[in-house]
A and B are shown apart, each in its own frame.
Chain A
Amino acid sequence: MRKIKLKILEKKPSLFTRLTLGILMFLLAASLAYAVWSLPTQALGLSAEVAKNVEMSGVSNPVTAVLLNYRSYDTLLELGVLLLALFGVWSLGGVSANKSSFVNPILDFLSRFLVPVFILFSGYLLWVGGFAPGGAFQAGAVLAAAGVLLFLNDWQLERKYSGFSLRFVLVLGLVLFVAIGFGFVFLDRVFLEYPPQLAGGLILLIEAAATLSIGISLAALFLGRDPSVKSDSKIDTGVHK
């Protein structure tokens, strides 16, 4: 892989430019600070409404209640954004793998030890999200970290899993979310509304699927190319240098 030159031909911007911009940014910061400063020191926001309905949401952690129940639209669309970003990265042809012949023995040993711990911790975060800080995003991030560790050790997804199986896991969260959301539309409820007595289980189910999808998507974003495409088959960029 060709190294990206960070310095490029970048001439240092002139003192005048830097000074003008610096003063402008200072004024901007000052006016924003004034705006924040003039806000009331006590503001409940929506916390009263959140607390009032948290018992009907199926979970006792208010953040999870907001994410997966009150404003599940946000979370649904956000899973979509994550998937779109991944498709975008894949469609760009990807980065040719930065192969190093040297495998760091410390990294190798540590990953063997840490990756199972990460996976376990991810499951813990997913479970604990119902009643304490945690949830699908945090669990997904930890899962993705395990994936990043594996990729740093030149680990490769077996080819038989990199096709349909990978894509299935990637879309699982979004598909299950939409399916459950629409499922109750036929039972005289609005889109993404869950019956209170089922909400806890449904949220855990959606979060479990979302954790897998988020974790694998983030790890795939780190890899930067479609693993089912051979890494050495560079896509022709149409530029002949």
Chain B
Amino acid sequence: MTPAFLYALVGIVLFSIGLYGLILYKHLLRKILAINILGSGVFLVMVALAARTGDAVPDAVPHAMVITGIVVAVSATALALALMLRVDAETGQAVLPEDREE
């Protein structure tokens, strides 16, 4: 097993853990954290699979996509956190409407 595949497998595990948390937990902060873990897994798979070039330089295209993706993920997280704070300010609970408890 090459290191590239090991990293890709770790990425898949991170993705699955993130999806588990996203589905299971109701609190929006947990969901946002879960999405970030899930996204990190995807990035790790992309970067790892780009390294299957033997001794040559790894494929730069997935690397560039991941850099772009990281910035987008960070800004999406910031927007999500702002939305969460607003939801909490409006309803007193940082959960989605269907999970709200009266």
Which residues of A are at the interface with B, using a C-beta cutoff of 8 A?
2, 4-6, 8-10, 13, 17-18, 21-22, 25-26, 28-29, 32-33, 36-37, 39-47, 50-51, 62-63, 65-67, 70-71, 74-75, 78, 81-82, 85-86, 88-89, 92-95, 135, 137-138, 140, 214, 217-218, 221-222, 224, 237, 239, 241
Contact = CB atoms under 8 A, between A and B. Distances in A.
A29 B16 contact: yes
Given A4-B29, A41-B52, A217 B24 contact: no
Contacts of B59: 43-47, 50
Residue from B27, B65, B94, B101 with most neighbouring chain A CB atoms (10 Å): B27
Nearest to A29: B16
A45 B61 contact: yes
A133 to B, nearest CB: 9
Give the interface residue-count category, chain B.
35 or more
Contacts of B52: 39-43, 45
A217 B76 CA distance: 12
A10 B30 CA distance: 11
B20 A92 contact: no
Interface of B: 2, 5, 8-9, 12-13, 15-17, 19-20, 23-27, 29-30, 45, 49-50, 52-54, 56-65, 67-68, 70-72, 74-76, 78-79, 81-86, 88-95, 101
A81 B88 CA distance: 25
Contacts of A6: 27, 29-30
Nearest to A133: B63
B71 A137 contact: yes
A98 to B, nearest CB: 11
Contacts of B88: 2, 4
7 contacts: A42-B52, A45-B50, A62-B57, A66-B60, A67-B68, A82-B75, A85-B75
Nearest to A90: B82
B15 A10 contact: no
A89 to B, nearest CB: 4
Main DSSP-derived SS at the A contact region = helix
A47 to B, nearest CB: 4
Contacts of B24: 13, 17-18, 21
A32 to B, nearest CB: 5
B27 to A, nearest CB: 6
Contact of A44 (B13, B53, B89): B53
A47 B71 contact: no
B27 A47 contact: no
Contacts of B76: 81, 85
Given A8-B93, A10-B26, A43-B53, A214 B71 contact: yes
A71 B8 CA distance: 24
A89 B78 contact: yes
Given A10-B26, A25-B16, A65-B60, 9 more contacts: A2-B89, A45-B52, A45-B62, A63-B63, A71-B64, A74-B65, A85-B79, A237-B90, A241-B92
